[in-house]
Amino acid sequence: MIDNLLNSLNIGILTVDHQLQLTYINSAAESLMRVSSARALGHSIREILQNSAELESVAYDAMQSGQPYTRHRAELLLFDGQSLTVDYTVTPTSDGEWPSLVIELYAMDRYLRIDRGEALRGHQEATRQMIRGLAHEIKNPLGGIKGSAQLLARELNDPHYTEYTDIIVTETDRLTTLVDRLLGPKTAPKPVMKNIHELLERVRILIELESASSFRIDRDYDPSIPEIELDPELMIQVFLNIARNAMQSLTEIKQPALRFKTRTERQFTIGTRLHRIVTRVDIIDNGPGIPLSLKDQLFFPMISGRPDGTGLGLSFAQSIVQKHQGLIEFESEPGRTQFSIILPMEQL
């Protein structure tokens, strides 16, 4: 009964004995620390964390004083290399002859993600409103220019001038298409139950066909992930846009490689909603990384790291993922860039 109650909490709960060996870990703590109870129980804190010194010091102080201790925005470095920002409280309890401790972990990453996500959505909505206004102002004269060029071509009826009127029509069509792409996908998702790996395999084949040079795509799939409700064609476009960006960043790399990775995560916050379980698709490349100057505006339209780029691919992908109630995150440094597409497992 108590285990069920503790496992239902969003707060990570650990108990340790007087030697700081774990005696209990609930589901939220397993998810936060990316470790199973089978792996953690009976092991010391220093075997679970790479930077355990501060937490150990606080734990011993709590045992000696008999008073609870709290730390705010502490960074825990997990053994898989990931860092976790938490508030934690260490509370001493009596366990017979020897003291023991209850450690409560409050994941600040969740709240930081909410703040970043809300700020990004606010900026994107303002950008979309501006683009809608510009699109209206641009598309109307473009339609007039195209119509006038077509009428002029018929009136002149001279092959010598047709070349020029054709250029006008072609360029107005191109600009109209560009404006439509700026506005993002016009249709709502048409979700069906689909295996995420089928979509990734289609993207893998397309990327390999498009690549002119030797190119390696590694696959690290979790076969236990069930089918998820999504719009297959729209999500293929998301994966394809990100994978193409990655491929184009690898042109100067001697041994270019992409990696497609899938996992599930528990207790994950998207926006202000905490989801019990999500699917995460990682697209990882070994390219030069994203310039620091672009990181804060990367998902805005017309922002591109390539001279010939339109800056619409990631904006388009973000819009689609948001329509699926999901999220795109990224981490980048020279030699490794990872885009993560997170999708709720609940039905749309």
Please report, rounded to a whole number, the percentage of residues in the chain having pLDDT higher than 70.
78
pLDDT tens digits, 249-292: 887 778 888 999 999 987 777 766 778 889 999 999 988 888 87
34 in the Ramachandran plot: left (φ > 0), alpha (ψ -120 to 50) or beta? Answer: left
pLDDT of residue 151: 85
Q: Is 2-107 CATH 3.40.1440.10?
A: no
* CA gap 291, 22 in Å, rounded: 42
pLDDT of residue 333: 87
Average pLDDT of the chain is 79
pLDDT of residue 1: 52
Q: What average pLDDT does range 106-117 have in this prediction?
A: 59
Q: Which of 64, 117, 156 is nearest to 270 (CA)?
A: 117
Q: What average pLDDT does range 216-236 have in this prediction?
A: 91
pLDDT tier at 9 (50, 70, 90 boundaries)? low
Strand partners, 283: 260, 339
Which pair of structure tokens corresponds to residue 48? 């679970």
SS3 assignment, position 104: strand
Distance of CA 71 to the CA centre of its chain: 28
pLDDT tier at 229 (50, 70, 90 boundaries)? very high
pLDDT tens digits, 155-178: 887 777 787 888 888 888 877 776
**pTM for the model:** 0.56
In the chain, what are the domain boundaries? Answer: 2-107, 112-182, 192-344
Q: Which of 274, 180, 256, 193 is nearest to 228 (CA)?
A: 193
> Does residue 75 contact residue 51 with C-beta atoms inside 8 Å?
yes
* CA gap 235, 247 in Å, rounded: 18
Q: What average pLDDT does range 134-139 have in this prediction?
A: 68
Number of Cβ atoms within 10 Å of the Cβ of 175: 15
pLDDT tier at 239 (50, 70, 90 boundaries)? very high
Superfamily of domain 192-344: Histidine kinase-like ATPase, C-terminal domain (3.30.565.10)
> Does residue 168 contact residue 156 with C-beta atoms inside 8 Å?
no
Which pair of structure tokens corresponds to residue 235? 């999500």
pLDDT of residue 119: 56
SS3 assignment, position 107: strand
pLDDT of residue 346: 73
Q: What average pLDDT does range 181-191 have in this prediction?
A: 68
* CA gap 78, 110 in Å, rounded: 17
What stretches of the chain show up as alpha helix (H) in DSSP?
Answer: 2-7, 27-33, 37-40, 53-65, 108-156, 159-182, 196-210, 232-248, 313-323
pLDDT of residue 288: 87
pLDDT tens digits, 137-155: 677 788 788 888 888 888 8
pLDDT tier at 340 (50, 70, 90 boundaries)? very high
pLDDT tier at 133 (50, 70, 90 boundaries)? low
Please report, rounded to a whole number, the percentage of residues in the chain having pLDDT higher than 90.
14
